[in-house]
Structure 1
């Protein structure tokens, strides 16, 4: 048996001009070797990925618009790709938020219901007599919540689907913790649903910027990854300082935590404005106007996608 030439590709026998074959792309690497060499390569690849990931996080959090500009300039090898970065941060962020945010909603005890009813009655009796006829009778807090979609026309839904939605809404109203858990679990899908439409809006508002749709999608991915990262940090700081607030020894950390939370939220707004200015390179006057218009449109998209995902989630529950 003849030994293959060391200068030829083992896959297609093409003469090698480097570590990779220019014809088929296979790496000139010997896979049948010592297990210690394989483990060493594994740690080397993990270390390389870590350095790239930390470099990406540093650029994402501290330098507005930097990663998006680097990506469209073709500098891809040194940073995590936008879509992979967004998926990774969204996965970690929603795991942390679900773990830290307390969504247990306990039903009021009979004593609390009685106290609420007494407070309501006292408030009604304290009103002037001429105003009492205008105050509708309040629902007894101990009665089950009545939900009806009668007379409501929901777009793209048949009457049968509306009845099904009404029945499931009643069930979730009686189990608010389950409803809150459902909303939290649907948030990643809501954000992902909104991203293409947000990039399309950026394409429209910067129509004469001569940029491709994928460039706007890159900015959308990076800014949303930054927002999720910031909100995760705010939640972590809030949870840590909240647990120390009851201790007189560590109560001073609560003040520092509040400052950190406020600074992170301020940085969130400043970051988005600077990203829009740096990436699209327009004058400050136009940038600020488009920033406020973008905020209003983003709010509409957020509410719309939230309503759609809630309806879909309830129907699938």
Structure 2
């Protein structure tokens, strides 16, 4: 006969699976309570009791038997939990490591839910009805008048006029002629600039009593200077000025033919020069793709009206429109390229160099995504904080050990203090996030709550360093002056390390996205 039958647990024999066993199902010893006196197994079978199974999960994770609430209550008083735990009163408190892990996970889970960073939007104003319909026209005219008011002579006026007209013309010409309603705001602004400049010139002529000949001479001198400056600063590649995709393709093909001809003329022995030329060809293609994305996004914005657009969506659909993607490493003159100009550490094996370059490539691509969606960076930073705290808790305990070498305390005692202090920080940050969530939910309906939550959040941030200072004083029982000195040194060292750790882990998480 099997042991289960002998113990009265054969469910096929008609006995209910919920009947309490008389013998331990693990070792067969007679039961005299809720736990086996021989092996310690519970009388309750979680496979048969779903409610108790859920209860055991929370019991194992939280120890919700009153200790969690007692621990949180005493944690509010600086140092009380750590002092009692170190003095031997351990049964009534949640263990420090368990408490810290639970609170840190809960805190930054709530943070991920509460904090939302909207992606960058772009709205295109449309002026279809002409110059007189622009409601901001009077403001624009006043602004231009003030800009020219500081010009003391005609040469200054013409220089300001030329600079502003060049900027506006570049913006206008970046939009295809197929979208006249998008080009019109630039033309209106250019008309305002010319009107303000002419008005200031007339005032200067009247103030200085200039003759027509003197006016012409000053204008001619100003134009000569402006042309000379324009030639010396004309460094924008032609492809970035293309107004249509057809023009862009023609410019790109012309440049590529020239570069490929130069590449073909280079002998195979000149490997470095060939790599440089291949890099220039790749940059040409990249610049062309960027300008094509810009043109397509401009057409999409103009044709879809004044609707709000997400730059991240435009980049995903049309391509990256940011052409500033040159990445140089360790002072190299040539831009980094995973294939043509990779990072090479002379002391590292080939597989490590290959892995480093692949990580750089991932990071470069992902940082291009982050510039359009700042929420990715915020989520990475929030995700990095718990890991950084967990890694630095032993470091904080080591700093306490070094600061209190004469106290004859063991490292594990300092670790308990570090864990409970970090648990309190997580609890305070959790309270801050909950206040932040309440603020967003209540303030739109009751404006006064914004002031209340703001004061509470400020008080909470102010209390956190004071709490840790008082905790350190109570636990180690030194004088205030000595405690303050040690607190200042430990705190500064720790938060510098924490900042570096959070930044490094956040960067690593973005690279691994």
Q: TM-score range by the shorter chain?
A: 0.7 to 0.9
Residue 13 to residue 246, structure 1, CA distance change in 2 (3 Å): closer
- 1:31 Cα deviation from its structure 2 partner: 5.2
Q: Give 1:190's aligned residue.
A: 388
Distance (whole Å) between structure 2 residues aligned to residue 126 and residue 290 of structure 1: 59
In structure 2, the CA distance between the partners of 1:251 and 1:218, relative to structure 1 (3 Å rule), is same
Match of 1:292 in 2: 488
How many matched pairs?
290
Which residue of 106, 111, 119 maps to 1:92? 106
- Mark the structure with the bigger radius of gyration: 2
Paired with 1:214 and 1:262, the residues of 2 have a C-alpha distance of: 34
| Cα-to-partner distance string for 1:198-233 (whole Å, 9 max, x where unaligned) | 111111111111111111111111111111111121
* 2:425 paired residue among 203, 224, 227: 227
1:57 corresponds to = 72
Unaligned residue ranges in structure 2 (runs of 5+): 8-21, 126-139, 157-162, 164-228, 241-293, 295-320, 333-342
Distance 2:150 2:354 in 1: 45
Aligned to 2:316: none
What TM-score, normalized by structure 2, do the two folds share?
0.47
SS of match in other structure, 2:66: helix
Preserved CA contact (<8 Å) 2:29 2:36: no
Retained in 2: the 8 A contact 1:195–1:221?
yes
**Inter-CA distance 148–277: structure 2 relative to 1 (3 Å threshold):** same
Q: Which has the higher contact order (CA 8 A, sep 6+)?
A: 1
Match of residue 175, structure 1, among 355, 366, 369: 369
Contact 1:68/1:279 (<8 A) preserved: yes
Matched residues in 2 for 1:173 and 1:294: separation? 34
The answer for the alignment partner of 2:509 in structure 1 is: 313
Q: Which residue of 1 aligns with 2:81?
A: 67
- 1:36-47, aligned counterparts within 5 Å? none
Distance verdict in 2 for CA 1:105–1:307, change over 3 Å: same
SS of residue paired to 2:421: helix
Q: For each residue in 1:242-283, what CA deviation from the matched residue of structure 2 results, as whole angstroms up to 9, or x when unmatched?
A: 443333xx1111111112112211221211001110111111
Is there any run of 5+ residues in structure 1 with no aligned partner, and where? 112-117
Relative distance call for 1:109 and 1:75 in structure 2 (3 A) is same
Whole-angstrom distance in 2 between the partners of 1:172 and 1:220 = 35
Q: Hey, what does 2:360 align to over in structure 1?
A: 166
Q: Alpha-carbon deviation of 1:310?
A: 3.0
Give the whole-Å Cα distance in 2 for the aligned partners of 1:313 and 1:75: 40
Judge conservation of contact 2:401–2:411 (CA < 8 Å) in 1: yes
Match of 1:269 among 443, 458, 465: 465
**Cα 1:96/1:144, change in 2 over 3 Å:** farther
Q: Structure 1 residues 126 and 110 mapped into 2: Cα distance closer, same or farther (>3 Å)?
A: farther
Look up the match of 2:449.
253
1:287-315 CA-partner distances (Å, limit 9, x unpaired): 11111112210122112212331343244
> Hey, what does 1:82 align to over in structure 2?
96
Moved over 4 A (4+): 10-14, 29-32, 45-48, 124-129, 139-142, 152-162
Distance 1:20 1:303, change over 3 A: same
Q: Residue 11 and residue 246 in structure 1: after superposition, are their counterparts in 2 closer, same or farther (change >3 A)? A: closer
